Chains A and B, each alone.
Chain A
């Protein structure tokens, strides 16, 4: 790991001041925020990230909260995954997020990993994680997964990089219509979490979000779902003990009796961004959550899938997960 300076600001203001130098594109990689370190420290050990300075957020008390303000859930960037998987409010009203948090990594990692770090974590593509493989994502010329080992890579939205976004919280939060609050030198901005992520074909292929290097994600919030809403996060891992998703389904369904009035369907593990499928959502509204409807939604959701040489299995797999998720909320 390259030597670095560790700064320990006590306020968001101080942290942003430190990060401001990153506006200068030459400095963009020289400074980085550090939360639980579960991803960043690994990247540094493997020389995938080599910042000169880390801005440690852990001392900023004002970023560590999970609260319910009149039906609006607000989660500070430093809230840990463990905190979310133990939260009663989420358990009762936002199962999708509760289950997503629980599905991540191991208890040890969840006890220090934060929501801010989770939403900003870097890809797990085996080539990305291997220092020697200088692929597109790291400034190289080629996507090695495209012609090489791609069992874990994208079947939707891929190109020129075929990563899958690794976060489990992101699909769940997008299914809850969450917004994200970020701030940097040019001031704060708020946007739907869905627009926070970008495809590799948009802008710089080396980044996964629209966040500028001098910006911090400060919080995420969403409206508690209306009564009659049920939700779930169904994640399929190659190895159950701990693993990233081969495919996952974040599903929020609002019911009127047994008829679906509101639907959000977001896929994880299959695309470079959390993959919201509006066509499938539309097909669900006005229907009952029966097998026929579920299968139709699954077909629509995967309609545009283009598998690589080694990951066609993700299509039937994801379809089954969608059907199961929908049926489980009936």
Chain B
């Protein structure tokens, strides 16, 4: 035991030795999802179950005079109703009551029968209303202006600069539009136990709340998230809808299925903060940013809204910004894929771009000049090369709008953390029949966590992906943290890796006597177990497992700071380029190509990384061209709470998408989901300017705005 005194520790093998990880892995649940076999919360049916619906506040601010549920109870099939708010409502869509019935349709009839009498109170649901001199007080705690930097020096820097631009940029409220709406199925019939399915991004997050709502011990409530259809940040916790379902279930002593309708989802399930940024940005002749003064407004409904700090990723010598939340009587913002970043990114990337053209500096060079971190330089140069920037005929001035179709290219960059944290544990079991499972209660919100839980285990034990079963999505399994901030992979992967490593070591210790060698010489590879140096023939995995006792073998692993240091990291970049065609006659923007280069440390599943990046680009494209919430402030309604009115990009809007993984294996794993949706819309808007000189400072870039920017609307 001379030099091997120290215990071996889990580390990722060198890339060339990876057999499963860092390959293109088809998700283990792909078939189940495609065939419909995968059971989402929406699909759960339990005997005796009732269906529930929510009654939402029809206007932005109400004083409730009377809420009578009795008429609902008279509707055939209605089983029960509960009041959720009996005094006043503060935002359009705030839940007031819930009804359970034998079918969803009957529950809806029940809702319509509820007698609701109210007085309207003054409301503010757009900026004009919210900032009018006589604006109603939306919240008791009026937000204050927060400042960042020194105003005087920033102003001074702008004054003396070679070039200055000053403009206002606005971003709309975007919705998450998860394919599966929010909701729960509460299987409770009275008694002291319950099972709750929830479409959530935090298995362990909502379950204690459900227990509390049901008046049960948390230990007696099982939370299940076998499959979930997207969250993007909007699905933490039980939510008002989950509370309503628990109340109903208690009331009628039956299981309750409450999934929000698409309309409910638009009105009461969160959204991305809208905003307005007035930016003054100054640069020296060579394009170095020297001064910035910004005034920013966040529109987060009844919430605070979020907007990443300025000058965002770029270095500006003297920057000052003021930020103010403008509350409105609308649903609160929630986290949404890179909260606050796409907004701040749009302001900063647009302003910088404007300044570059004003100075006649290549906008790509201008970006590099003001990005200190060299990773951005290599990423920008690569996407520029891939998209054809260096051959592009007009780089420091826009194309001629007299042409019917103009082609342009634009860029944007991203920053994100993506590191993990404590609270995740995994158990790996090896059975006597040779089968293997890895269990951790985490959720897979589309990122492919189920697949890499199995893949990491398979890699460690020298098996194939299909040899390992991943058990996830249950509070009966070892704990895991919620999926927010792209932290899942950074938290989960080290725990699984350590568990599998510990299982391998324990197994090796058992098998060592068989080979008559030290456990350190027992190796698992290619579905076999062998002595790395000895002459004895290898055992097949099955033969080796047959030597285990009836209970098999299990081992645990958890996320620790130490494991994290060796296996994971945080901090990623990302650059994207877009090539667009602008039809100057109709204002149509067609995105032709989007190229992304994205670092994420060691990619566990390359295919999943590519699909995350593609998904980020699609979401950004949709934000760039179509998505926005429309309200009629006078009437106090949302006008487009449907999938027809709220437009999201469809198959015909899809560009050619290329994702280049910026491999940095040595850093270990880092979560990647959020950075990917930060730069795309800015790149598209900048490409539109590069194409034809139309600077649209207000997303989305709909044809009317493009025509207006081209001076075609008189």
Contacts and interface: CB of A to CB of B under 8 A. Distances in A.
A313 B637 contact: no
DSSP class of B's interface residues: helix, strand, loop or mixed?
loop
A121 interface: no
A186 interface: no
A307 B268 CA distance: 34
Interface string B624-654: 0110001010110101101011010111110
A210 interface: no
A124 B653 CA distance: 22
Interface string B224-239: 0000000000000000
A30 B652 CA distance: 40
Contacts of A148: 632, 634-635
Given A126-B639, A126-B645, A324-B585, A241 B651 contact: yes
B159 interface: no
A133 B586 contact: no
B639 A313 contact: no
Contact of B647 (A129, A243, A323, A324): A243
Contacts of A124: 644
A47 B642 CA distance: 15
A1 B587 contact: no
A311 B713 CA distance: 9
A238 B639 contact: no
Given A127-B639, A236-B586, A239-B649, A149 B704 contact: no
A181 interface: no
B650 A317 contact: no
A162 to B, nearest CB: 14
Nearest to A244: B644
Interface residues of A, number: 33
Contact of B587 (A243, A311, A312, A313): A313
B649 A151 contact: no
Contacts of B704: 151, 310-311, 313
Given A127-B639, A132-B637, A236-B586, A316 B647 contact: no
Given A133-B637, A239-B650, A144 B708 contact: no
A217 interface: no
Nearest to B702: A238
Contacts of B626: 238-239
A75 interface: no
Contact of A313 (B649, B650, B651, B703): B703
A129 B637 contact: no
A246 interface: yes
Nearest to A323: B585
Give the interface size bracket for B toward A.
Answer: 20 to 34
B244 interface: no
A129 B643 CA distance: 12
Interface in A25-40: none
A256 interface: no
A241 B704 CA distance: 18
B586 A317 contact: yes
B708 to A, nearest CB: 6
Interface in A200-241: 236, 238-241
A124 B645 CA distance: 9
B588 interface: yes
Interface in A233-280: 236, 238-243, 246
Contact of A132 (B58, B634, B651, B712): B58
4 closest Cβ contacts across the A-B interface?
A: A241-B650, A320-B585, A313-B704, A240-B652
Interface of B: 58, 105, 108, 112, 585-588, 625-626, 630, 632, 634-635, 637, 639-640, 642, 644-645, 647, 649-653, 702-704, 707-708, 712-714
Given A130-B639, A313-B713, 15 more contacts: A126-B639, A126-B645, A127-B639, A129-B644, A144-B635, A151-B702, A236-B703, A238-B703, A240-B652, A241-B651, A241-B652, A311-B704, A312-B714, A316-B712, A316-B713
27 contacts: A1-B105, A124-B644, A126-B630, A126-B639, A126-B640, A126-B645, A129-B642, A129-B644, A130-B637, A130-B639, A133-B635, A133-B637, A144-B632, A147-B634, A236-B586, A238-B647, A238-B702, A241-B652, A311-B704, A312-B713, A312-B714, A313-B703, A313-B707, A315-B713, A317-B707, A320-B585, A324-B585
Interface of A: 1, 47, 124, 126-127, 129-130, 132-133, 144, 147-149, 151, 236, 238-243, 246, 310-313, 315-317, 320-321, 323-324
